[in-house]
Copies of this chain bind each other. A is one copy, B any other.
Amino acid sequence: MKTFSPDDENNKKLVDFLKKLGLNSTEIKIVTSTEIEFKKGENVCKQGSFASYIMILKEGWLKSYIENIHFKNTIFKITKPFSIIGLSCLYGDNHYHFGCQALMPSKVCLVERAVFDNIIKGNNKFASEIIKMYSNSLQNLYDRLNSISNKQSLSRVCDSLIYLSEKIFESETISPIVTRRDIAELSGLATENIVRVLAELKTANAIAIDKKEITILDMDMLKRFSCFG
């Protein structure tokens, strides 16, 4: 009997994911042929640089953000395996409109844009799956925009925690790979305010804090706070 290393396991999952998107074996080989490792904190892509690749996250976690002139970032998405990054750059001007950084050691498959485009054009099932991803991305951005532009700090932080718990980590526990600053940039607030709001939520028994790890104890309460505005 063959034993699988964690890497084999991960390969298998990635292939399964791509199959579900409608890719055949040849296409899967093409798409997974170039794999790059990134260290924690490394840039996966830089805002403004030439957008050569569409990226598939195979292992690890990334954050995608928009940089402004004064190095104040807005994180609009945390990405888990197996997600596709850079779809907004598939057509249009040839530059990344956002930056992306590894939250922990991560492996990413790079697919040249033209190659990716070709597969879409020749594979309707895949095209329609990609369109689903676009829809999801738009909806996620609507959510973030709503949170940041219409709500106050408490509600915004709750939104971020709900997002991280439900959409990203799929657990009541938010991994400590997400820092207070990350939550701040996700909420459009200063780090110090995040700390204060988290302390409030802890007092209210909505969350528990163990060092950098946050656990949601009362999701209903967070959702009520989120609605308050």
- Measuring CB to CB, which residues of chain A are less than 8 angstroms from any residue of chain B? 66, 68-70, 72-74, 76, 87-92, 97-98, 117, 120-122, 124, 127-128, 130-132, 134-139, 141-142, 144-146, 148-151, 188, 227-229
Residues in B with CB closer than 8 Å to A97 are 138-139, 142
Chief secondary structure at chain A's binding surface: helix
> Known interface pairs A90-B131, A131-B134. Does A74 touch B139 (Cβ–Cβ under 8 Å)?
no
Residues in B with CB closer than 8 Å to A228 are 69
- A136 near B92 (CB under 8 angstroms)? yes
- A132 near B91 (CB under 8 angstroms)? yes
- B131 near A68 (CB under 8 angstroms)? no
Give the Cβ gap from A64 to chain B, nearest Cβ, in Å.
10
Bound-state CA distance A150–B74 (Å) is 7
Copy count, this protein chain:
2
- B142 near A68 (CB under 8 angstroms)? no
> Known interface pairs A130-B131, A141-B138, A145-B141. Does A150 touch B72 (Cβ–Cβ under 8 Å)?
yes
Bound-state CA distance A72–B149 (Å) is 9
Give the Cβ gap from A10 to chain B, nearest Cβ, in Å.
28
- A139 near B68 (CB under 8 angstroms)? no
> Known interface pairs A132-B91, A136-B92, A138-B134. Does A229 touch B68 (Cβ–Cβ under 8 Å)?
yes
Give the Cβ gap from A203 to chain B, nearest Cβ, in Å.
24
Residues in B with CB closer than 8 Å to A141 are 138, 141-142, 145
- B142 near A76 (CB under 8 angstroms)? yes
Give the Cβ gap from A139 to chain B, nearest Cβ, in Å.
5
Can you name 27 A-B pairs with beta carbons within 8 Å? A66-B145, A68-B146, A68-B151, A68-B229, A72-B150, A73-B150, A76-B145, A87-B138, A88-B135, A88-B139, A91-B131, A97-B139, A97-B142, A120-B127, A120-B128, A122-B124, A124-B124, A124-B127, A130-B131, A131-B131, A131-B134, A134-B138, A138-B138, A138-B141, A141-B145, A145-B145, A149-B188
